[in-house]
């Protein structure tokens, strides 16, 4: 396992991180399976475990904290998030100072920890002044309850630029990390967010790197959906929106690139993301140990320039030389 700094900060995280959004905790067998996955990740060198207060209504934090107690706290990097409702009250959601401070305490209690390494704003809150949100996060750093903070979805480059102005004007602790969605079939962050993060020394820890499973290669054009896959869940619009003929055609050609390099499709997809130096870690989910093993193999894989050019051609995307060196 290889490790990278989170932006210009000193903290180092494994190139592959384990996320908790797929963690299933409905019965004893599911909990034991999830614990086995966390332990296998640790044994393979993963030191970064991503969670959120919203995952399983807080149960994911409780579960993760219990398993991670088996390992030295100073060697584990844990993240969580704040934004989504934690109750029915008017102040139990969003990014107000009140909710951020209360929710941080809730997450610390759930995790059974004294501090959270990385704390994200899960979404953008248009009802709260950005100054209030950033001040609250910086104050949590002063209090030692979080070490670094960042943001996730809905924080555009323009919002990141505005945040940097506020941080500079108020002398706040810097923003350290951004967690957007990013994969081969959704490259929107390359237009502006990557450049902004490079400019300010902000690390990027993308989620959904395998496009809800589409980039694993398990969905094939002209073949029935795999039994039990996310695409068979009627409520899962994310994967179903991705399962277009155009995307399935692209994946078929990408499979040939992976085969030519002697790589599994997930390894190609993850290594492709890690080609950007601004990427600190790629957050993957796993519902069984075999999925995790496949993902872990991407750490340290460097794709040749001709393969990167071919991937851009397949994806129909203009190559940005500055970003991929």
Question: Which pLDDT value is given to residue 220?
Answer: 78
Q: What is the rounded distance in angstroms from the CA atom of residue 68 to the CA atom of residue 112? A: 10
Q: What is the rounded distance in angstroms from the CA atom of residue 44 to the CA atom of residue 72? A: 15
pLDDT band at 287 (very low <50, low <70, confident <90, very high): confident
Q: Which tens digit of pLDDT belongs to each residue from 193-249?
A: 999 999 999 999 999 999 989 999 887 776 666 655 555 454 456 677 788 889 999
Q: Which tens digit of pLDDT belongs to each residue from 156-197?
A: 999 999 999 999 999 999 999 999 999 999 999 999 999 999
Burial group, residue 320, by CB count within 10 angstroms (0-12, 13-18, 19+)? middle
Question: Which pLDDT value is given to residue 219?
Answer: 79
Strand partners, 149: 119
User: 61-65, 84-88, 89-93, 314-318: which range is least confident on average?
Assistant: 314-318
Q: Which tens digit of pLDDT belongs to each residue from 82-96?
A: 999 999 999 999 999
Contact between 317 and 51 (Cβ < 8 Å):
no
Which is the catalytic residue, given 55, 119, 149, 182? 55
Q: What is the rounded distance in angstroms from the CA atom of residue 263 to the CA atom of residue 271? A: 10
Indicate if the pLDDT at residue 22 is higher than 80.
Answer: no
In this structure, what token pair is assigned to residue 159? 């919002």
Query: Kind and range of the H or E element at 131?
Result: helix 130-142
Please give the C-alpha separations between residue 76 and each of 65, 73, 82, 298, in angstroms, as whole numbers.
11, 5, 20, 21
Indicate if the pLDDT at residue 302 is higher than 60.
Answer: yes
Q: Which tens digit of pLDDT belongs to each residue from 136-146?
A: 999 999 999 99
Q: Among this protein's residues, is 149 annotated catalytic?
A: no
Q: What is the mean pLDDT of residues 53-66?
A: 94
Indicate if the pLDDT at residue 62 is higher than 50.
Answer: yes
Q: Which tens digit of pLDDT belongs to each residue from 98-122?
A: 999 999 999 999 999 999 999 999 9
Q: Which residue has the tokens 């075999």?
A: 290
Contact between 196 and 202 (Cβ < 8 Å):
yes
Taking residue 199's Cβ as centre, other Cβ atoms within 10 Å add up to 12
In this structure, what token pair is assigned to residue 19? 């996320």
Q: Which residue has the tokens 């060697």?
A: 75
Q: Among residues 155, 145, 118, 115, which one has the least CA distance to residue 6?
A: 118
Q: Give CA 150 to chain center in angstroms.
A: 12
Average pLDDT, the chain: 92
Q: What is the rounded distance in angstroms from the CA atom of residue 178 to the CA atom of residue 198? A: 11
In this structure, what token pair is assigned to residue 4? 């990278």
Strand partners, 120: 81, 150
Question: Which pLDDT value is given to residue 237?
Answer: 62
Indicate if the pLDDT at residue 307 is higher than 60.
Answer: yes
Q: What is the mean pLDDT of residues 12-31?
A: 89
CATH number of the domain located at residue range(s) 3-210+264-302 in this protein: 3.20.20.100
Instruction: State if pTM tops 0.85.
Output: yes
DSSP secondary-structure letter at 47? -
Q: How far apart are the first and last CA of the chain?
A: 22
323 backbone dihedrals φ, ψ, rounded to 5°: -75, -30
Question: Which pLDDT value is given to residue 318?
Answer: 58
Regarding predicted confidence, which is higher, 25 or 69? 69
In this structure, what token pair is assigned to residue 113? 């920890």
Question: Which pLDDT value is given to residue 234?
Answer: 47
């Amino acid at each position: 396992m290889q490790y990278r700094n989170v932006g210009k900060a000193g903290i180092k995280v494994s190139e592959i991180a384990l996320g908790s959004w797929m963690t299933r905790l409905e019965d004893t067998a599911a909990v034991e399976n999830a614990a086995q996955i966390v332990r296998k990740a640790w044994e393979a060198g993963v030191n970064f475990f991503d969670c959120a207060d919203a995952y399983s209504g807080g149960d994911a934090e409780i579960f993760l904290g219990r398993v991670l107690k088996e390992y030295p706290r100073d060697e584990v990097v844990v993240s969580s998030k704040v934004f989504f409702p934690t109750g029915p009250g008017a102040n139990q959601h969003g990014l107000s100072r009140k909710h951020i401070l209360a929710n941080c305490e809730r997450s610390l209690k759930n995790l059974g920890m004294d501090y959270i390494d990385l704390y994200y704003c899960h979404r953008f809150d248009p009802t709260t002044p950005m100054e209030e949100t950033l001040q609250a996060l910086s104050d949590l750093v002063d209090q030692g309850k979080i070490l670094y903070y960042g943001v996730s979805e809905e924080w555009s480059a323009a919002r990141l630029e505005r945040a940097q102005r506020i941080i500079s004007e108020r002398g706040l602790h810097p923003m350290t990390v951004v967690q957007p969605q990013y994969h081969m079939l959704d490259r929107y962050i390359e237009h502006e967010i990557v450049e902004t993060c490079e400019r300010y020394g902000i690390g990027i820890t993308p989620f959904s790197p395998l496009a809800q499973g589409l980039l694993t290669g398990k969905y094939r054009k002209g073949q029935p959906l795999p039994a039990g896959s996310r695409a068979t869940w009627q409520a899962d619009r994310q994967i179903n929106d991705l399962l277009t003929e155009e995307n399935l055609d692209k994946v078929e050609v990408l499979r040939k690139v992976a085969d030519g390099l002697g790589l599994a499709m997930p390894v190609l997809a993850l290594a492709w993301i890690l080609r950007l130096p601004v990427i600190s870690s790629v957050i993957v989910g796993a519902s069984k140990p075999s999925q995790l093993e496949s993902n872990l193999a991407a750490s340290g894989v460097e794709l040749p320039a001709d393969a990167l050019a071919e991937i851009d051609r397949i994806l129909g995307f203009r190559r940005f030389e500055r970003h991929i060196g």
